[in-house]
Structure 1
Amino acid sequence: MKIKMDNAVGPQVRTKKGAGGKLLPVLGAVSLGAGLQSATQFFAHIFDYQANLGGHFNHVYAPWSILEWSSKWYSHYPNEIMQAGSVGMMISTVGLLGVAVAKVVSSNSSKANEYLHGSARWAGKKDIQAAGLLPRPRRLLDVVTGKDTAPSTGVYVGGWEDKDGNFHYLRHNGPEHILTYAPTRSGKGVGLVVPTLLSWGDSAVVTDLKGELWAMTAGWRKKHAKNNVLRFEPATANGSVCWNPLDEIRMGTEHEVGDVQNLVTLIVDPDGKGLGSHWQKTAFALLVGVILHALYKAKDDDTTATLPSVDAMLADPNRDVGELWMEMATYGHVAGQNHHAIGSAARDMMDRPEEEAGSVLSTAKSFLALYRDPVVARNVSRSEFCIRDLMHSDDPVTLYIVTHPNDKDRLRPLVRVMVNMIVRLLADKMDFDNGRLVAHYKHRLLMMLDEFPSLGKLQILQESLAFVAGYGIKCYLICQDINQLKSRETGYGPDETITSNCHVQNAYPPNRVETAEHLSRLTGQTTVVKEQITTSGRRTAAMLGQVSRTFQEVQRPLLTPDECLRMPGPRKNADGNIEEPGDMVVYVAGYPAIYGKQPLYFKDPIFLARAAVPAPKDSDRLVQFAEAGERITI
């Protein structure tokens, strides 16, 4: 029993089979046709149907003419027709013998399977175009003004050089998310972040560690992209926009308790490790009640509740804390009735032993210590914009969250609160019309989160990646390496789902072997042919007795971990500034990996012109306050 082996494995089974299996039958038919043609022309030659002009025919007959002539004239010219038939038979026999020999050789020859051990390969131009990363040609004059909508839009994910040495930007404009692996000082800012912010026209949220992105991109975004640019720098005394997290609580609705609980969860869990201790859990319950009480009381007093005021309420030296618990348990919050969540929190504290209640109170106050800084307290005392402005304002809004390195750790809880609220409040409503999603936003939102694992584990961010794209939110997440992302202590753990929900992953040359191994696995396995030469005979002989060469298909990674670690990085001068770009790899789900080249904004005159637009001295403000405290929307 003959078994037919199917060696076409992997994605290549989707490609159309070539015409190699039809070649031999075609050659056999050609041999028969050549025999008929030869017989026809020979018979014509016998009867001088051609002139003797250097051996060239002056007329060529159809191959089957010999068959017509033999049926008509065989009785008159049997010898001539037999001679012509003999010539045709000889030509056809020679051709068919050649086809038979080719068939025997083909059957007895080993056929290498180029996909035997893997089919990974580097992407070509057609692959990159199919993945949607190659833009249309740009028009320089219009792009400088920022008014040209004809070129392709989107975020920059890398660059690519074709066979002719031409450099192409790789841009992605779909709703899917992007994850970047780039070590510190590798050039991700000048190669990916700055070009994106100097071209993205819709709203954006940007984590700006040192304020560099504000300096290089805010000017163009305000002047040419027509964005309102907001600089939220809570640790600075001047120039920052103010934002009060408590203004985002949807008071008087069914969401108020849930909003406060989500806020307090971030306050008492600043690192995202979960509420593991008894004191965190009890402090959580207490702060939920106190913040709700502060909100209702401020509403009645026509004042504004803030986190500094909540801290002052708990740490008031002129008032016994027991009086606060009693006030919370008896105050008429809703139509003269005590709020159940507030009263329960107060009664829990009154029922606790004095020592335990003191420990719960001190734990709760410790989480609010950040807001005792008068600078931070002033910047969170009121809201000069609201979260919904990012996607629902008449003009796009770009929010820069600036936290300098010396303030990064202490400001982390506040930044976590802001990012959490952005995701929750902007991805809360979805309607459909005729089976299609109806957009409820005016502008798409790009969340450009550099060094996002440094914010700690944001569970809402990890979970929301699976659905926020449907609400017009596109995340561009940047981390140093895979270890930072999968860390059990400070990251999302080995079972994280962020990589699963990012359609595009790109990477600069890594520093850690774990990241190199991850990139190698993403690139895939390929099949290569190994040549082996065997010699036999005496070493002293004039000639070797025998030399044999064998070829064998073997497996290897298309990009090995050590090759990944040795990818050329950017070339820097003596001052540490980048002069020439290095290599990078880009992965798009469903397509071959792209071996690319890092883009550099300062190598492009368009980006240089845009980055030269001076940034505003102060942040824009979408809401101003009159002297009497009345909010005025701009």
Structure 2
Amino acid sequence: MKIKMNNAVGPQVRSAKPKAGKLLPTLGVLSLAGGLQAATQYFAHTFDYQASLGGHIGHIYAPWSILQWASKWYSHYPNEIMSAGSVGMLVSTVGLLGVAIAKVVASNTSKANQFLHGSARWAEKKDIQAAGLLPRPRTVLEVVTGKEEPTATGVYVGGWEDKDGSFYYLRHSGPEHVLCYAPTRSGKGVGLVVPTMLSWPASAVITDLKGELWALTAGWRKKHAKNKVLRFEPASSNGGICWNPLDEIRLGTEFEVGDVQNLAQLIVDPDGKGLDSHWQKTAFALLVGVILHALYKAQADGTYATLPSVDAMLADPNRDVGELWMEMATYGHVDGQNHHAIGSAARDMMDRPEEEAGSVLSTAKSYLSLYRDPVVARSVSKSEFRIKDLMHQDDPASLYIVTQPNDKARLRPLVRIMVNMIVRLLADKMDFENGRPVAHYKHRLLMMLDEFPSLGKLEILQESLAFVAGYGIKCYLICQDINQLKSRETGYGHDETITSNCHVQNAYPPNRVETAEHLSRLTGQTTIVKEQITTSGRRTAAMLGQVSRTFQEVQRPLLTPDECLRMPGPRKSATGEIEEAGDMVVYVAGYPAIYGKQPLYFKDPVFQARAAIPAPKVSDKTIHVQDAGQGITI
């Protein structure tokens, strides 16, 4: 008994259902029809196509005419009818014999199973359209109503060439996140980042090493995308914007202690490795109390609390630190009453042995040493914009976080604080109406984080990827390779969930074999039919004695790690400038992998014109300078 197994897995396999052969039944029917036609024409020929038969010499009759004539004239012409029937049976028999032979040959012919070991294949145009990276063909309804699916607001994830050599940009407009693997100097900036920032109309946060993206994209974003362009370069006093992290603390609310704890956690854990040592944990507890005390005291005095002022409070050369602990323990913070968290921190320090207290204090002060730089201190002395302004103002805003290479390491704690607060403060509230989430933002936000593993492990970023899309935040994360992402020391470890929460992954030719192996696994396994020919007989003979041909299904990765490592990269000039784009691969969850082509913005006259718009000399602001600290927006 033949049992049909329901074991088809994967879209290619399930759609490739075995079709019943229609050729042989068709040939059988044609054989019978041919026999009737032969009998009809033979009978007509016997009577020289007489007019009584309804035709003339050479006339072609309907195949079933012999049946009508037999029923009408068999009693008059039995021999002629039998002769015609014999001719018809001979023709049908020959035809049916041929069908039988064809059936035997087909049954004895082996057929390769193209999906035996895997069904991976490269995407075609219809697959890319189904994945949402290319505009779909217009439907009749769209033509009639004039409404089409918007496709011109997405981020650029790559390019693709069809068989005719036509080039298409691949853009992703959905709320899902994008993860890119691109080594240094591979062209990710000119191919992905710059085109995206020269076309994304909503708000954005961009990590900008060297200020290159500001120079190329801020002009267009301000002039044509109608964005407020904000340049935060804490190590420079040249036209940048100021931002005080303490102004984001929701003082006087139930969130104040949690906000300060999150801030202190980032201060004492600048690399995201966790609070492992005793000194880190005690310094964390101390900073929570001191920052809260500074905020309440500044509120009472009509001044502004800043991280440099917190450092000055702990390192005041004209005051014994014991006086600070006593002030924190006795000060009336809330309605004349001492704040529990502040008093507890002060009591902890007073109860410690002098040597231990000194070590805790010195540890806390060491984490605030960055803010003794007068340039950095000025950049965090007031707030000329607020985090909420990115998504909730009338105009969208683009925040460029600029760090020069020589300042990148020392500014990391401050950049981590900013990115952490952006995620926490913009994804803090969601309401529902009629079973559907209600948006509380005016503008979507794109977080374009280049070299994001260099910020250290940001636990909130990893955890929030699963839900921030519902708050209008789309993340575009770029790393050099999979090792940088999975590093236990500086990355997110082998159990990271970044890749799990990124719907689209794209990659330039990698330099590390681990990344190539990861991309090969993403591409999947395919089935290759291998042909093997065996011959026998003398090579000098006119004909070989025997030739046998066998077919065998073999499994292989659609893209092997070796092929991945040898993907053509961009061709560069002697000075290192990219002249011709290289290849890349794009993966969209649930669809075949796309073997694509790298886009280059300077090859596109539209992007060239947009990039040529000069960037503003001075950053925009969303808060009046005289009102900075109170957060009064324009």
Q: CA deviation at 1:62?
A: 3.4
Residues 630 and 367 from structure 1, CA distance in 2 versus in 1: closer, same or farther, beyond 3 angstroms?
Answer: closer
- Counterpart contact for 2:235–2:407, Cα < 8 Å: yes
Q: What is the correspondence of 1:616-627 to structure 2 with a 5 Å cutoff?
A: 616-626=616-626
Q: Does 1:464 align with 2:464?
A: yes
Q: Which residue of 2 aligns with 1:160?
A: 160
Amino acid at match of 1:379: S
Once the two structures are overlaid, the 10-residue window that deviates more, 489-498 or 80-89, is 80-89
- Counterpart contact for 2:8–2:14, Cα < 8 Å: no
1:633 is paired with a residue whose SS is coil
- Counterpart contact for 2:239–2:619, Cα < 8 Å: yes
Identity across aligned pairs (percent)? 85
1:602 is paired with a residue whose SS is helix
CA distance in 2, matches of 1:397, 1:100: 76
Q: What is the correspondence of 1:512-523 to structure 2 with a 5 Å cutoff?
A: 512-523=512-523
**Structure 2: gaps (5+ residues):** 138-147
Amino acid at match of 2:157: V
Amino acid at match of 2:386: C
2:190 is paired with a residue whose SS is helix
Q: Which residue of 1 aligns with 2:226?
A: 226
CA distance in 2, matches of 1:322, 1:122: 70
CA distance in 2, matches of 1:453, 1:412: 11
- Counterpart contact for 1:331–1:338, Cα < 8 Å: yes
Residues 231 and 136 from structure 1, CA distance in 2 versus in 1: closer, same or farther, beyond 3 angstroms?
Answer: farther
Residues 545 and 631 from structure 1, CA distance in 2 versus in 1: closer, same or farther, beyond 3 angstroms?
Answer: closer
Q: CA deviation at 1:561?
A: 0.7
CA distance in 2, matches of 1:28, 1:193: 63
Q: Does 1:329 align with 2:329?
A: yes
Residues 72 and 580 from structure 1, CA distance in 2 versus in 1: closer, same or farther, beyond 3 angstroms?
Answer: same
Q: Which residue of 2 aligns with 1:110?
A: 110
Q: What is the correspondence of 1:404-483 to structure 2 with a 5 Å cutoff?
A: 404-483=404-483
1:215 is paired with a residue whose SS is helix
Q: Which residue of 2 aligns with 1:589?
A: 589
Amino acid at match of 2:11: P
Residues 628 and 618 from structure 1, CA distance in 2 versus in 1: closer, same or farther, beyond 3 angstroms?
Answer: closer
Q: Which residue of 1 aligns with 2:339?
A: 339
Residues 169 and 202 from structure 1, CA distance in 2 versus in 1: closer, same or farther, beyond 3 angstroms?
Answer: same
CA distance in 2, matches of 1:180, 1:627: 41
CA distance in 2, matches of 1:481, 1:516: 9
Q: Which residue of 1 aligns with 2:354?
A: 354
Q: CA deviation at 1:334?
A: 1.1
- Counterpart contact for 1:391–1:441, Cα < 8 Å: yes
Q: What is the correspondence of 1:520-559 to structure 2 with a 5 Å cutoff?
A: 520-537=520-537, 545-559=545-559
Q: Which residue of 1 aligns with 2:291?
A: 291
Give deviations 1:147-185, integer Å, cap 9, x for gaps.
Answer: x99762200000000000000000000000000000000
Q: Which residue of 2 aligns with 1:563?
A: 563
2:484 is paired with a residue whose SS is helix
CA distance in 1, matches of 2:360, 2:482: 38
CA distance in 2, matches of 1:630, 1:181: 42
Q: Which residue of 2 aligns with 1:485?
A: 485
Q: Which residue of 1 aligns with 2:170?
A: 170
- Counterpart contact for 1:135–1:171, Cα < 8 Å: no
Give deviations 1:180-218, integer Å, cap 9, x for gaps.
Answer: 000000000000000000000000000001100000000
Amino acid at match of 2:616: P
Q: What is the correspondence of 1:604-619 to structure 2 with a 5 Å cutoff?
A: 604-619=604-619
CA distance in 2, matches of 1:259, 1:270: 17
Q: CA deviation at 1:2?
A: 4.8
CA distance in 2, matches of 1:621, 1:177: 29
- Counterpart contact for 1:485–1:493, Cα < 8 Å: yes
Count of aligned pairs between the two proteins: 621
Residues 270 and 136 from structure 1, CA distance in 2 versus in 1: closer, same or farther, beyond 3 angstroms?
Answer: same
Q: Which residue of 2 aligns with 1:197?
A: 197
Q: CA deviation at 1:64?
A: 2.7
Q: Does 1:311 align with 2:311?
A: yes
Amino acid at match of 2:409: D
CA distance in 2, matches of 1:70, 1:29: 22
- Counterpart contact for 1:135–1:152, Cα < 8 Å: no
CA distance in 2, matches of 1:592, 1:429: 36
TM-score normalised to structure 2 length: 0.94
TM-score normalised to structure 1 length: 0.94
Residues 471 and 540 from structure 1, CA distance in 2 versus in 1: closer, same or farther, beyond 3 angstroms?
Answer: same
Q: Which residue of 2 aligns with 1:503?
A: 503
2:22 is paired with a residue whose SS is helix
Q: What is the correspondence of 1:129-144 to structure 2 with a 5 Å cutoff?
A: 129-135=129-135
2:505 is paired with a residue whose SS is strand
1:337 is paired with a residue whose SS is coil
CA distance in 1, matches of 2:502, 2:131: 14
- Counterpart contact for 1:50–1:58, Cα < 8 Å: no
- Counterpart contact for 1:157–1:171, Cα < 8 Å: yes
Amino acid at match of 1:526: T
CA distance in 1, matches of 2:426, 2:556: 46
Q: Does 1:90 align with 2:90?
A: yes
2:304 is paired with a residue whose SS is coil
Q: Which residue of 2 aligns with 1:140?
A: none
Q: CA deviation at 1:88?
A: 2.0
CA distance in 2, matches of 1:158, 1:50: 76
- Counterpart contact for 2:123–2:591, Cα < 8 Å: yes
Residues 149 and 208 from structure 1, CA distance in 2 versus in 1: closer, same or farther, beyond 3 angstroms?
Answer: farther
2:624 is paired with a residue whose SS is strand
